[in-house]
Amino acid sequence: MPLIHIIPADIQHDVSKGTNLMEALRSAGIFLDAPCGGNGKCGKCTVTADGAEVLACQTTVEHDMQVLIPEGKDLHVMHEGIVTDTHMDPLCSGPLLAIDIGTTSVVCFLLDGNSGKELASASSLNPQTAFGADVISRIREALDGKLEQERDAIRQELTRQINEVCGKAAVDPADIGLVSVVGNPAMQQLFLGISPENLAGVPFAPVLTETRTVPCRDVLPVCENALLLIVPDISGYVGADTMGCVLSTRLYEADDLTLMVDIGTNGEMVLGNRERMIACSTAAGPALEGANILFGMRGADGAIDHVTAAENGFSCSVIGGGRAEGICGSGLIDAVAVFLEAGLLNKRGRINSTNEIDGQRYIPLRDGIYLTQDDIRQVQLAKGAICAGVQLMALQLGKEVRDIKRVLLAGAFGSFMDPDSACRIGLLPEELKGRITTVGNAAGSGAKLMACDRAEIDRVRELKDRIEFLELASLKEFSGTFARAMNFREK
């Protein structure tokens, strides 16, 4: 039985001969980023095995092997959310935990049980990225026998975060009273160890339909005396994280027609006001998280995060200030906006340039980083899905896009993205320019509210019945609206 020596973690781990190296590392508790789901396309799982760089997902262990895991980059995660007055009436006494399990990142907040004050926070990349960048990839992997691996990966990471925040604040995890968790339906079910089979086919019915509490020790033993609050999903693809956003933004109290958008691998949106609210999910794909883009990466050191026009080309801001190693979602949106203003793209997204590499037209940015024709197409698919969703929700409410008075951009991507660039490329309809406000980690803020006040939990039960779900693909107008929304407005 071959032995793999993993450094710098200094782990020695026996595996069966012929085991895939990615699987071997997972079984040793090492979860590499694999946005492509282990198909050998993204190159993110590169490691050094016996002195040679290899893709872990494409390598088998045939003999004893030394594997060097590259140093990870710090992911820039949005902690701050919208500030809402908090009334303290928690379900349980003791310190409180609020957790936001995102597809890309995970954030844990420790709160004082008497005041609601944040005592400490921790964040990290969701270790389930080892099973794919997007929800669909992780569902597929879970149904292919990896459910327990995905469940254990997120529980181990949350246990680490809980120990970290409790250590910072000198709190005993055994004293935690309530743990409030939000996430999209797939992230919640994988965390709870529930098969996501319901999310793999029509009618995509949600499993978590009621607010309830269970002993936390059955899921996160580190909080042995706490209750775990399970927040219901709005639909199969609009989850408790969106519920948290609605709660913290107080969208349900708005007089004006308000749009809340959380853009990630899925674009969850809610449009409405105190009279009526409608929600939908769009399959934006992982491009805006850096996947399926040739030089795409997450918002970490080395990523181009903003692009502006310059006298002799483009000026690129790089996270960390060093050499550019790739481009993240906010930089991607800026770049396409700048290309459009420079006349480098036509309305259908074709690059107006004769520069070619590997048979594709491309536009150079900086330090050898460039965007290809395929990259532009990925952006068009993402922005077309989101823009079409906004238009069709307005139509269902008997309104027009121009009737939307406020736009609330939630999540890390929305907070770092330039709203003007988003409107310039049509990610959001251009009529909404000047009406956009960022609200940070609104899902996490909602989880905090529910941890602190039982009245907010009751409000979630009410909102579950009030928010209507719109299945975009079922609308006869969807295909035409989506096709038109993929186009750009030329200069």
Dist CA 395 CA 376 (whole Å): 28
Residue that the structure tokens 């990471």 belong to: 157
Q: Please provide the average confidence, as pLDDT, over all residues in the chain.
A: 91
Q: Per the structure block, which two tokens stand in for 255?
A: 């007089």
In terms of phi and psi (left: phi > 0; alpha: psi -120 to 50; beta: otherwise), the region of 440 is left
Q: What pLDDT does 83 receive?
A: 57
| Average of per-residue pLDDT across 179-194 | 97
| Average of per-residue pLDDT across 362-385 | 95
- How many residues in the chain? 491
Cis peptide before 8 (omega within 30 of 0): yes
Which pLDDT band holds residue 49 (cuts at 50, 70, 90)?
Answer: confident
| Average of per-residue pLDDT across 68-96 | 72
Which pLDDT band holds residue 74 (cuts at 50, 70, 90)?
Answer: very low
Q: Per the structure block, which two tokens stand in for 356?
A: 């070619």
Which pLDDT band holds residue 266 (cuts at 50, 70, 90)?
Answer: confident
Q: What pLDDT does 81 receive?
A: 58
Q: Using the predicted structure, report yes or no on whether residue 78 has a pLDDT greater than 50.
A: no
CA dist list (Å): 371 to 29, 314, 397 = 35, 13, 38
- Which residues share a beta bridge with 85? none
pLDDT 10s digits, 209-248: 999 999 999 999 999 999 999 999 999 989 999 999 999 9
The sign of the CA dihedral 440, 442, 447, 448 is positive
Q: Using the predicted structure, report yes or no on whether residue 31 has a pLDDT greater than 80.
A: no
Q: Using the predicted structure, report yes or no on whether residue 40 has a pLDDT greater than 90.
A: no
Q: Using the predicted structure, report yes or no on whether residue 406 has a pLDDT greater than 80.
A: yes
Q: What pLDDT does 72 receive?
A: 58
Q: What pLDDT does 43 receive?
A: 73
Which pLDDT band holds residue 76 (cuts at 50, 70, 90)?
Answer: very low
User: Between 136 and 90, where is the model more confident?
Assistant: 90
Contacts (Cβ under 8 Å, ≥6 apart) of 227:
91, 92, 177, 178, 179, 213, 214, 215, 216
Residue that the structure tokens 């020790």 belong to: 217
Question: Would you identify the CATH topology of the domain 3-68?
Answer: Ubiquitin-like (UB roll) (3.10.20)
Instruction: Please give the CATH superfamily to which domain 96-245 belongs.
Output: Domain of unknown function (DUF4445) (3.30.420.480)
Q: Using the predicted structure, report yes or no on whether residue 124 has a pLDDT greater than 70.
A: yes
Point out the least confidently predicted range of 286-295, 332-341, 402-411. 286-295
pLDDT 10s digits, 462-475: 999 999 999 998 99
Domains of the chain: which residue ranges? 3-68, 96-245
Domain 3-68 and domain 96-245 have a common topology: no
Point out the least confidently predicted range of 62-71, 239-248, 452-461. 62-71
User: Between 424 and 77, where is the model more confident?
Assistant: 424
Point out the least confidently predicted range of 170-184, 235-249, 403-417. 403-417
Dist CA 107 CA 355 (whole Å): 42
Task: State the pTM of this model.
Answer: 0.86
Which pLDDT band holds residue 285 (cuts at 50, 70, 90)?
Answer: low
Q: Using the predicted structure, report yes or no on whether residue 413 has a pLDDT greater than 80.
A: no
Q: Which one, of 15, 57, 9, 44, lies nearest residue 30 by Cα? A: 9
